[in-house]
């Protein structure tokens, strides 16, 4: 008999959600079904599965039992009905775009997005005849102004990568409802442990599972979560036709990491607070951006919708681009990596890396300043993280004066 999974607490769901030991092997851990295809007992049965009269697996591009456990577990954790695992986070955003909009439509979205998502919406969407209308998220009327009768969905990321601006999900969800269109939220930075957009009215939640959910820079993955009807439609149409399915091995790795998500997130958050406190008092640092700081312009919203403030920290180094790059080059424990949400502390200088393909004006709109550093604070001992940041900042201060861009 299937356990009463809906009634379990969050940390229990992380370990057990979506899986009951299968009746054949009784395997305690979720089995890795590393297969592309599945047999049918007869052509009659095949026809029934193909026509969706009968539940069953056809081909891993459409569904897979290991991927299915991750889909169900994540749906339980996000408080949504169903999920669809994808090869990467960006294939999850692409599926949203393909499934909700077409030629002649518009989408209204925050420009404060991960650089890759910004490029997908600003470059690929127009090539499909879909117009991105960028919302001025600092204007309280910004979303309303961006919505027209052609708008098919609203899209946001909060906290935004890498500017860490926070958007009031409940407010935007209410507008979406008024206009009868879905709100899509990228919840990658928070994971459902820190923020549950569906509880605040979002209709669809996506993740790059490559980040905190995988947790250790092993697997690429993404997921789209929403109503059962929406997920069934996407699985049967765009997902099946376009082919962005997840590797079952990656889903299996992500399922293992999910078991420790609450423990890791608590440690990530407490380490991040230690780093923030240190940076705030450092003379080489112009400004620290962290939703947990009272000085953060969106602190009140963050307090309202997040359980804790996450482990992404941004700060502006005095001395612009050259100082930003020098800080990164002097780090020893922290790695220069184009990823986040790892057990290891990672650092990057967005202006010269993730956001380099954007023009200076686009960088400005996306909130990327010349000396901005993004830290993804890991779960090492905080003393070691602070010592590394301290020695790298000390080297910059003792170097000949930098010129800003």
Ligand X SMILES: Cc1ncc(COP(=O)(O)O)c(C=O)c1O
The residues annotated as belonging to the active site are: 61, 114, 186, 211
Toward ligand X, which CB reaches closer, 116 or 370? 116
Q: How far is the CB of 246 from ligand X (least distance, A)?
A: 11
State yes or no: residue 114 binds ligand X (CB under 6 A).
Answer: yes
Ramachandran area for residue 191 (φ above 0: left; ψ -120 to 50: alpha; else beta)? left
**Backbone dihedral region for residue 180 (phi beyond 0: left; psi -120 to 50: alpha; all else: beta):** left
As a whole number of angstroms, the distance between CA 207 and CA 185 comes to 9
Residue 316 in the binding site for ligand X (CB under 6 A): no
Query: Could you say whether residue 118 binds ligand X (CB under 6 A)?
Result: no
Using the rule CB under 6 A, give the single segment among 57-65, 114-122, 236-244, 314-322 that binds ligand X: 114-122
- Contact between 203 and ligand X by CB under 6 A: the answer reads no
- Does residue 197 interact with ligand X by CB under 6 A? no
| Residue 342 binds ligand X (CB under 6 A) | no
CA-based nearest residue to 78, from 263, 251, 259, 203: 203
Tell me the window of 185-193, 223-231, 303-311, 370-378 that interacts with ligand X (CB under 6 A).
185-193
> φ, ψ for residue 223 (rounded to 5)?
-155, 145
Q: Is 210 in the site for ligand X (CB under 6 A)?
A: yes
**C-alpha angle with apex 155: 101 to 206, nearest 5 degrees?**
95
Nearer to ligand X, 285 or 368 (CB): 368
Closest CB to ligand X among residues 179, 196: 196
Residue 111 in the binding site for ligand X (CB under 6 A): no
Cβ contact 235:103 at 8 Å: no
Q: What count of Cα atoms within 13 Å lies in the side-chain half-sphere of residue 249? A: 5
CB of 87 to ligand X, least distance (A): 8
Helix spans in 26-179 (H): 43-50, 65-78, 89-100, 115-119, 125-127, 142-146, 169-179
Among 120, 188, 191, 363, binds ligand X (CB under 6 A): 188
155 binds ligand X (CB under 6 A): no
How far is it, in rounded angstroms, from Cα 405 to Cα 397? 18
> What residues line the site for ligand X (CB under 6 A)?
88-90, 114, 116-117, 157, 161, 186, 188-189, 208, 210, 220, 222
């Amino acid at each position: 008999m299937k356990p009463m999974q809906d009634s379990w607490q969050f940390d229990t769901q992380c370990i057990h959600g979506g899986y009951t030991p299968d009746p054949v092997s009784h395997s305690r851990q979720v089995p890795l079904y590393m297969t592309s295809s599945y047999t049918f007992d007869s052509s009659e049965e095949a026809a029934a599965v193909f026509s969706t009269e009968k539940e069953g697996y056809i081909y891993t591009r459409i569904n897979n039992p290991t991927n299915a456990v991750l889909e169900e577990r994540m749906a339980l954790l996000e408080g949504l009905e169903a999920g669809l695992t994808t090869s990467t986070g960006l294939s999850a955003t692409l599926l949203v775009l393909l499934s909700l909009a077409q030629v002649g439509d518009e989408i209204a979205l925050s420009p404060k997005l991960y650089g890759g998502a910004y490029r997908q919406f600003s470059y690929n969407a127009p090539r499909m005849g879909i117009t991105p209308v960028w919302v001025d998220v600092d204007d309280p009327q910004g979303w309303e102004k961006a919505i027209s009768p052609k708008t098919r969905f609203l899209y946001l990321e909060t906290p935004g990568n890498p500017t860490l601006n926070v958007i009031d999900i409940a407010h935007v969800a209410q507008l979406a409802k008024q206009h009868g269109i879905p709100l899509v939220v990228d919840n990658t930075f928070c994971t459902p442990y820190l923020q549950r957009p569906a509880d605040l009215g979002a209709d669809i939640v996506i993740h790059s599972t490559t980040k905190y959910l995988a947790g250790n820079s092993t697997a690429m993955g993404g997921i789209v979560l929403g109503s059962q009807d929406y997920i069934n439609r996407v699985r049967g149409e765009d997902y099946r036709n376009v082919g962005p399915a997840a590797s079952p091995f990656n889903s299996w790795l992500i399922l293992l990491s999910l078991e420790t998500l609450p423990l890791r997130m608590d440690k990530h958050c407490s380490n991040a607070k230690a780093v923030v406190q240190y940076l705030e008092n450092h003379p080489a640092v112009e400004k620290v951006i962290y939703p947990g700081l009272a000085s953060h312009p969106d602190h009140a919203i963050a307090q309202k919708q997040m359980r804790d403030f996450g482990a992404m920290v941004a700060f502006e180094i005095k001395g612009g681009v050259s100082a930003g790059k020098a800080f990164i080059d002097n780090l020893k424990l922290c790695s220069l990596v184009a990823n986040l949400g790892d057990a290891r502390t990672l650092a990057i200088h967005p202006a010269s890396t993730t956001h380099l393909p954007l023009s200076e004006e686009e960088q400005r709109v996306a909130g990327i300043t010349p000396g901005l550093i993004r830290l993804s604070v890991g779960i090492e001992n905080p003393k070691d993280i602070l010592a590394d940041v301290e020695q790298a900042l000390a080297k910059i201060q003792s170097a000949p004066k930098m010129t800003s861009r």
